[in-house]
Chain A
């Protein structure tokens, strides 16, 4: 199972954090700090996998954002690279040519997308289309209620 998923920028600013195991605030901060230190120190052409404590860390850089996830011993690292890629594709589909600013200003939407794709540390829906459809329907449910959560904008 995936233990956590972090998105952070090259400058070390956290953009999204999803934890699939209960950890105290202190522990979370420690993990974030460690991940940033280790991942940001890697050279561009390195391997995307590394070992940290008892977890396998898989990270991938997309433009200015690092997607970093921690896996358990049994998990398939190559597949988790695909999971990260699928998540980026979903974001891209939703926001239309997604960039870091989209995720900054619409962070709660990024979380909603993530919650349609992963749950409890496992992949929830393997079809790109299905995720997009359910997100759209949920948004419509909201739009009729509130003008705040309208279309994404800066």
Chain B
């Protein structure tokens, strides 16, 4: 067995090892020796063996075999061994280890040792690794030591008590009384310990907090003596007398004064004194001022004091020291909610801090700037934020873009500004925006109908200059597809006119399609946009056809599917192409489909399969429109649609038609078309709609899908006419010719007044030869403000082909009174 070398030799040997391997070798050798020596019971060099082991442990090597040795050493009568033993215990044992329980008894014995240094070792170890059980066991001992006469022990006992209270809050009661009496001590160490103990006790239990409110005058007195007393070399730090104690007292005052007028009043003078008299040239003075400011802002202080505190923070903001600026912004962040006006005064400085090279300061400045954005300063604030975005560190980009979007959404002064801002962000940091940005932006653009021309021109130009930012490219493609005709018209009020030819637009889209930077999603957008342009531009449709057919054999399945279907649209269903690709309606922001991304495909499949429910919820949101009436027609019948599997290609129609006879007439209508290709055409059309919708708004265009599908199928759009309007109640009528003699009339009632309308009923009368069949209405209540409609179908059969007239009696109750009216309809829209 090689002789053990002294600790310092070992350290030298390890440090001089040139490679990891060599170091490991030295350590393994030493550990073997140490292990052997531990096994020997009586040994002189035990403490330095353990010390060597602890060094090895600090380097990161396993040292668990030293745990038992620590326990043995703690029990040794020699002070040096105890010292290292306790150190080892603190390093190697923690409350999760079983061995820690073994030292409880040793600690207990040492707590009543004659030497204060042994007692302090025990106290220190208990405060460091004491588990809940150990704390419960030894709490009475600690309480006894708190009342000892020795300041050295008292201060250590106080901090040990703090650990116990943190671990086992119920034991707080045990220490409360003694803690109070400790406030009368002169020794700073004990005083400091007492203040921290009281703080922890108050944090643990609100009752204790109430009891300790009585100590506020004592604390104020102690603080005053610290602030005004003469120079004390022992505790002085750069002119401040015992800053550690001062800060802790201020923190305790904060907790005691919170939500309590009386306590806050007692402190006001003191806080004002500290705030004005503390020297703020050094960090230590600023530490005390900082704590004072936090206290003032948290308690119920008088307004003058609050203003003083905010001014101090303002001064901090202008300080050269970065640390001070950082904490100033952190504090301002806390109060920006409540004292917004006060913080707004410093907006300039905060925005300047955005340009600070330090990352921590930048982050704080960003958080605070976003919190300070308001309707009045949004323009200048956004300018600064956009400048910041172009130079900000990558880890802050996502946060910045989200913050900018949120602020723009809340405070946008005009739609054009809003669109401009979003476009700017997309060009600068397009890669870091959230996923919902693209649909949100598209929604915004469709809603700003007067800016379509401007938007599409701007996006086109952005597309020409850079196609690497995917969200921007996606939005640009979508807009060009939708508003391509505006683009080609050339003139635009807000921008200088630029000649844009159909060829250049198609070329731009082709570049996107072929670029390696474009993701599959972006390519999908571009392909669909190209397809849409086939209806918007008159010449050069062949080019579009060729582009589309090329992608028919693309490797990407999504693109291939789209291309094949668009091809089909060109070849077989050219007559439907215009209707299918017409411009989208304004999307209702709050429609259920709007935010629902993945049910997109689901709803379309629903046309082929089931998922009736979504359609039902969607339907009430449809804009009042003739075709929508038709949908309502079908919608009413949805309850009884069997949720069965798709039955071949004609399912879209059949699932609708199985419900009611009206559906059957629909089928007749469709029977007028070519039967067999229709089936596949119908199944193709929903797919096409899916692509169109998938791009626009992952979800909200279910509406449009259904609409477009049916309009394509039905091949005509019949208008709705308002036949009655009074007291906010309107009745619209629309009709379709089902066959030579059969007509379906749809009556729809709507209430735009502020109060609900109940007992809404319709009665109809027609000329003698006409057969009338009124179906059950969808309801008899019209909620206020047009939240829902009542629909009623009337089937008319006119075999003699007389001039069709109808008289309708409308009766309802509104605001307590009942109303009855009659209208005569002489001409039916849509019937020639």
A residues whose Cβ falls under 8 Å from a Cβ of B? 1, 14-17, 19-20, 22-24, 29, 42-43, 45-51, 74, 76-79, 81-83, 86, 104-105, 107-108, 111-112, 115, 119-120, 122-130, 134, 137-138, 141-142, 145-146, 148-149, 153-154
Contacts of A134 in B (CB 8 A): 117, 152
A137 touches B358 (CB 8 A): no
Task: Establish whether residues B47 and A146, one from each chain, have CB atoms under 8 Å apart when the complex forms.
Answer: yes
Min Cβ gap A126→B in Å is: 5
CB–CB A123/B58 < 8 A: no
The reply to whether A22 and B95 form a contact with Cβ atoms under 8 Å apart is yes
Q: Which residues of B contact A51 (CB under 8 A)?
A: 360, 363
Let me know if B323 is at the binding interface, CB within 8 A: yes
Choose from B60, B115, B193, B287 the contact partner of A76 (Cβ within 8 Å). B287
* CB proximity to A under 8 Å, residues B353-369: 357-361, 363
Residue of B nearest to A89 (CB): B237
Tell yes or no: B636 within 8 A of A by CB. no
Q: Measured between alpha carbons, how far is A104 from B193 in the docked complex, in Å?
A: 31
Quick one: CB contact mask for B63-87 with A, threshold 8 Å, 1 for yes?
0000000000000001110011001
Beta-carbon contact of B117 and A138 below 8 Å: yes
List of B residues within 8 angstroms of A48 by Cβ: 322-323
Q: Can you name 23 A-B residue pairings with CB atoms under 8 Å?
A: A14-B58, A23-B94, A42-B359, A43-B357, A76-B247, A76-B251, A78-B286, A82-B283, A82-B284, A82-B287, A111-B87, A119-B156, A122-B162, A126-B188, A126-B192, A126-B235, A126-B244, A126-B245, A127-B188, A127-B189, A134-B152, A138-B117, A145-B78
Q: Report yes or no: B80 in contact with A146, Cβ–Cβ below 8 A.
A: yes
Interface centre among A48, A120, A122, A129 (most CB of B within 10 A): A120
* Partner pick for A124 among B7, B155, B243, B245, CB 8 A cutoff: B155
Minimum C-beta distance from B669 to chain A (A) = 65
Main secondary structure of the interface of A (DSSP, over half): mixed
The docked-state distance in angstroms from the alpha carbon of A125 to that of B193 is 8
B525 at the interface (CB under 8 A from A): no
- The yes or no answer to B405 lying at the interface (CB within 8 A) is no
Among B330-373, those with CB < 8 Å from A are: 357-361, 363
Contact A119 B124 (CB under 8 A): yes
Q: From the candidates A19, A47, A82, name the one contacting B361 in the complex (CB within 8 A).
A: A47
Do A50 and B8 form a contact, CB below 8 Å, given A126-B245, A138-B117, A146-B47? no
Q: Which residues of the other chain, B, contact A141 by a CB distance below 8 angstroms?
A: 79, 115, 117
Complex contacts, B99 vs chain A, CB 8 Å: none
Chain B interface, number of residues (Cβ within 8 angstroms): 70
Is A123 within 8 A of B128, CB to CB?
A: no
Within the assembled complex, what's the spacing in Å between the Cα atoms of A133 and B127? 22
Contact (A148, B234) CB under 8 Å given A20-B128, A82-B287:
no
Tell whether, in the assembled complex, residue B189 and residue A112 are in contact, meaning their CB atoms are under 8 Å apart. Answer: no
- The proximity string for B residues 1-27 relative to A, scoring 1 for CB distances below 8 Å and 0 otherwise, is 000001110010001000000000000
Q: Is the CB of A126 within 8 A of B189?
A: yes
Given A81-B323, A148-B6, also A107-B55 (CB < 8 A)? yes
Asked whether B163 is an interface residue with its Cβ less than 8 Å from the other chain, the reply is yes
Complexed CA–CA distance, A74 and B363 (Å) = 20
Q: Assess whether B34 is interfacial by the CB under 8 Å rule.
A: no
> B83 to A142, Cβ gap below 8 A?
yes
With A and B bound together, what is the CA distance between A1 and B162 in angstroms? Answer: 11
Q: Is the CB of A78 within 8 A of B283?
A: yes
Assuming A78-B284, A120-B159, A124-B193, what are 7 further A-B pairs, CB within 8 angstroms?
Answer: A22-B95, A49-B323, A50-B359, A76-B290, A81-B287, A141-B115, A148-B45
Q: Report the minimum CB–CB distance from B309 to chain A (whole Å).
A: 15
Q: Which residues of A contact B80 (CB under 8 A)?
A: 142, 145-146, 148-149
Q: Is the CB of A79 within 8 A of B55?
A: no
Residues of chain B within 8 A (CB-CB) of A112 are 83, 87
Decide: A46 near B79, CB < 8 A? Known: A78-B283, A107-B58, A122-B162: no
> A14-B58, A119-B159, A148-B47 known; A74 and B322 CB under 8 Å?
no
Which residues on the B side are within 8 Å of A81 (C-beta)?
Answer: 283, 287, 323
Closest 3 pairs between A and B when the two form their complex, measured CB to CB: A78-B287, A120-B127, A47-B360
- Smallest CB–CB gap between B788 and chain A, Å? 48
A46 to B11, CA, bound (A): 34
Residues of A near B322 (CB, < 8 A) are 45-48
Contact for B87 among A20, A108, A138, CB less than 8 A = A108
Q: Does B684 contact A (CB under 8 A)?
A: no
Give the total number of A-B pairs whose CB atoms are below 8 A apart. Answer: 162
Of the residues A29, A77, A86, A153, contact of B327 by C-beta under 8 Å: A77
- Residue B96 lies at the interface, judged by CB distance under 8 Å to chain A: yes
In angstroms, Cα B130 to Cα A20, docked, is: 11
Q: Is the CB of B326 within 8 A of A49?
A: yes
Interface centre among A45, A86, A125, A142 (most CB of B within 10 A): A125
* Chain A residues with CB below 8 A from B51, complex form: 108
Q: Which residues of B contact A148 (CB under 8 A)?
A: 6-7, 45, 47-48, 80
Contact with A along B145-176 (1 / 0, CB 8 A): 00000001001100110110010000000000
**Closest CB of chain B to A28's CB: distance in Å?**
9
Residues of chain B lying within 8 A (CB to CB) of residue A154: 8
Contacting pair B235 A127 (CB below 8 A): yes
Say how far A21's CB is from chain B's closest CB, in angstroms.
Answer: 9
**In the complex, A124 Cα to B188 Cα: how many Å?**
10
**When chains A and B are docked, how far (Å) is the Cα of A120 from the Cα of B244?**
16
| B736 lies within 8 A of chain A by Cβ | no
- Let me know if B360 and A79 touch, CB within 8 A: no
Contacts of B159 in A (CB 8 A): 119-120, 122, 124
CA distance A78 to B115 in the complex (A): 37
Find the A residue at minimum CB distance from B361: A47
User: Is the C-beta of B665 less than 8 angstroms from some C-beta in chain A?
Assistant: no
Task: Report if B196 contacts A (CB, 8 A).
Answer: yes
Q: Which residue of A lies closest to B121 (CB)?
A: A115
Neighbour of B8 across the interface among A17, A29, A105, A126, CB < 8 A: A105
B189 interface neighbour in A43, A50, A105, A124, Cβ under 8 Å: A124
Contacts A23-B94, A124-B189, A148-B80; A78 near B290 (Cβ below 8 A): yes
A29 engages B55 (CB within 8 Å): no
B242 at the interface (CB under 8 A from A): yes
- A10 CA to B444 CA in the complex, in Å? 52
B585 to chain A, nearest CB (A): 47
A49–B360 touching, CB < 8 Å: yes
Least CB distance from A85 to B in Å reads: 8
Cβ of B701 within 8 Å of any chain A Cβ, yes or no, is no
Q: Determine the residue in chain B with the shortest Cβ distance to A50.
A: B360
Which B-chain residue is minimally distant from A138 (CB atoms)? B117
A145 engages B234 (CB within 8 Å): no
Using Cβ atoms and an 8 Å threshold, which residues of chain B touch A29? 60
The closest CB in chain A to the CB of B294 belongs to A76
The verdict on B743 contacting chain A, using a C-beta distance below 8 Å, is no
Indicate which residue in A119, A129, A137, A145 contacts B117 across the interface (CB closer than 8 Å): A137
Alpha-carbon separation in the docked complex, A24 to B323 (Å) = 32
CB distance from A107 to the nearest CB of B (A): 6
Nearest neighbor of A133 in chain B, beta-carbon distance: B152
Task: Tell me if B54 and A108 are in contact (CB < 8 A).
Answer: yes
B129 contacts A by Cβ under 8 Å: yes
Contact A82 B327 (CB under 8 A): no
What A residues does B361 contact at CB under 8 A? 47
Does B291 make an interface contact (CB < 8 A)?
A: yes
Q: Is the CB of A78 within 8 A of B160?
A: no
With A47-B326, A126-B235, A126-B244 in contact, is A104–B11 under 8 Å at CB? Answer: yes
In the complex, the answer to whether B283 meets A46 with C-beta atoms within 8 Å is no
Nearest-Cβ distance from residue A108 to partner chain B, whole angstroms: 5
Residue on A with the closest CB to B117?
Answer: A138
- Give, as a whole number of angstroms, the nearest-CB distance from A96 to chain B: 17
Closest A residue to B247 by beta carbon equals A79
Q: Given that A14-B58, A124-B189, A148-B45 are contacting pairs, would A78 and B323 also be in contact in the complex, using a CB cutoff of 8 Å?
A: yes
Which chain A positions have C-beta within 8 A of B163?
120
Which residues from 95 to 120 on chain B have a C-beta closer than 8 Å to any C-beta of chain A? 95-96, 115, 117
- Please name all residues of chain B whose beta carbon is closer than 8 Å to the beta carbon of A50 when the two chains form the complex: 359-360
Partner of B96, one of A14, A22, A42, A107: A22
A79, B287: Cβ atoms closer than 8 Å = yes
